[in-house]
Amino acid sequence: MCGILSVINFSDNIKGNHLSKAAAVIRHRGPDDEGFLTWQPGEQPHIWAGSDTAESTKAHFHYNDLPHDQSFRVGFGHRRLSILDLSPAGHQPMLYTRGGLAITYNGEVYNYLEIRDELAKLGHQFTSSSDTEVILHAWEEWGPECLNDFNGMFAFVILDYNKNELYAVRDRFGVKPMYYYKGAEALYLASEIKQIRTFPGYSFAMDESIALQFLDTGLCDHTTDTFDTNIKYLQAGHYLKIDLDKDPEKFEIVKWYTLIPHHWHGTFDEAANQLKTLLTDAVRLRLRSDVKVGSCLSGGLDSSSIVCLAAELLNKSGDFAGQETVTACYEQAKYDEWAFAQEVNRKTKAHPHQVFPAFKDLQNEIDDFLWHQDEPVSSTSVFSQWSVFKKTHDVGLKVMIDGQGADEHLAGYGGNDLPLYAGLLGKGKILSLLNESKYYKKANGHWPIGFLLGAMQLNFGKGFTNMLPAKFRIKKQPCSDWLVKDPQGKFASEPAHSLRDNLIRQLFGSPLPSLLRYEDHNSMAWSVESRTPFMDYRLVEFTLGLPERFIYNRGVRKAVLRKAMHDVIPDAIENRKDKMGFVTPEELWLKGEGREWFLSGVDDALKLAPQLFNEPKVRAFCEGMINGKIPFDFTIWRIVSFGKWYASMTGHGKR
Phi/psi region, residue 94 (left: phi>0; alpha: psi -120 to 50; beta: rest), is beta
The mean pLDDT value for 327-343 works out to 95
Asked whether the beta carbons of 341 and 335 are under 8 A apart, the reply is no
What average pLDDT does this structure show over 204-213? Answer: 95
pLDDT-above-70 percentage for the chain: 98
Averaged over 71-97, what is the pLDDT? 97
- Per-residue model confidence as pLDDT tens digits over 402-422: 999 999 999 999 899 999 999
* Residues above pLDDT 90, as percent of the chain: 91
pLDDT at 479: 78
Partners of residue 80 on adjacent β-strands: 2, 33
> Is residue 98 predicted with pLDDT exceeding 80?
yes
| Predicted pLDDT of residue 641 | 98
**Which domains occur in the chain, in start order?**
2-255 (3.60.20.10), 268-410+511-574 (3.40.50.620), 415-503 (no CATH), 586-649 (no CATH)
List of residues 6+ apart from 469 with CB closer than 8 A: none
Contact 324, 292 (CB under 8 A): yes
Tens-place pLDDT, residues 487-537: 765 455 678 999 999 999 999 999 999 999 999 999 999 999 999 999 999
Q: How far apart are CA 307 and CA 309, in angstroms?
A: 6
DSSP per residue over 61-88, as a string?
A: HTPPBPPTT---SEEEEEEE---S--SG
> Which residues lie below 8 Å from residue 35, measured CB to CB, with a gap of 6+?
47, 48, 49, 50, 53, 57, 63, 77, 78, 80, 91, 92, 93
Would you call 524 exposed, middle or buried from its count of C-beta atoms within 10 A (0-12, 13-18, 19+)? buried
pLDDT > 60? residue 612: yes
pLDDT at 603: 98
Task: Assess whether pLDDT exceeds 80 at residue 654.
Answer: no
Distance of CA 560 to the CA centre of its chain: 24
CA–CA separation, 242 vs 186, rounded Å?
13
Query: What is the C-alpha to C-alpha distance for residues 647 and 655, in angstroms, rounded to an integer?
Result: 9
pLDDT in tens, 14-26: 999 999 999 999 9
Question: What's the confidence (pLDDT) of residue 577?
Answer: 73
The CA distance from 403 to 391, in Å, is 18
> Does the CA dihedral 378-381-384-389 come out positive or negative?
negative
Higher pLDDT pick, 467 / 518? 518
Q: What is the pLDDT of residue 576?
A: 82
In 257-406, at which residue ranges do the beta strands (DSSP E only) sit?
A: 293-296, 324-328, 351-355, 399-401
Tell whether the model's pLDDT for residue 363 goes beyond 60.
yes
d(CA 633, CA 217) in angstroms, rounded, equals 10
CB of 81 closer than 8 Å to CB of 398: yes
User: What is residue 42's predicted lDDT score, i.e. its pLDDT?
Assistant: 93
Contacts of 517 (CB under 8 A, 6+ apart): 177, 221, 373, 375
Cis bond before residue 93 (omega within 30° of 0): yes
pLDDT of residue 494: 76
Predicted TM-score (pTM) of this structure = 0.96
The pLDDT tens digits for 548-606 are 999 999 999 999 999 999 999 999 999 887 766 667 899 999 999 999 999 999 999 99
Contact between residue 448 and residue 417 where contact means Cβ atoms under 8 Å apart: yes
pLDDT of residue 160: 98
Report the pLDDT value the prediction gives residue 488, as an integer from 0 to 100: 67
Check pLDDT > 60 for residue 163. yes
Q: Give the integer Cα–Cα distance in Å for 497 and 351.
A: 45
What integer pLDDT is reported at residue 255 of this predicted model? 98
DSSP state of 33: E
In this prediction, residue 350 carries a pLDDT of 98
Rounded to a whole number, what is the distance in angstroms from the first to the last CA of the chain?
Answer: 26
Taking residues 362-368, report their average pLDDT. 98
Pick the closest to residue 409 from 504, 344, 480 (CA basis): 504
Query: Cα–Cα distances in Å, from 516 out to 4, 30, 153, 466, 576?
Result: 17, 19, 11, 40, 25
Q: How many helices (H) and strands (E) does the chain have?
A: 26, 20
* Average pLDDT of span 123-141: 98
Helical ranges in 287-337 per DSSP H: 301-316
Q: How confident is the model at residue 426 (pLDDT cuts 50, 70, 90)?
A: very high
- Residue 492, pLDDT score: 54
Do the beta carbons of residue 507 and residue 366 sit within 8 Å? no
Tell me what pLDDT residue 400 has.
98
Is 178 in contact with 155 (CB distance < 8 Å)?
A: yes
CB of 4 closer than 8 Å to CB of 190 = yes
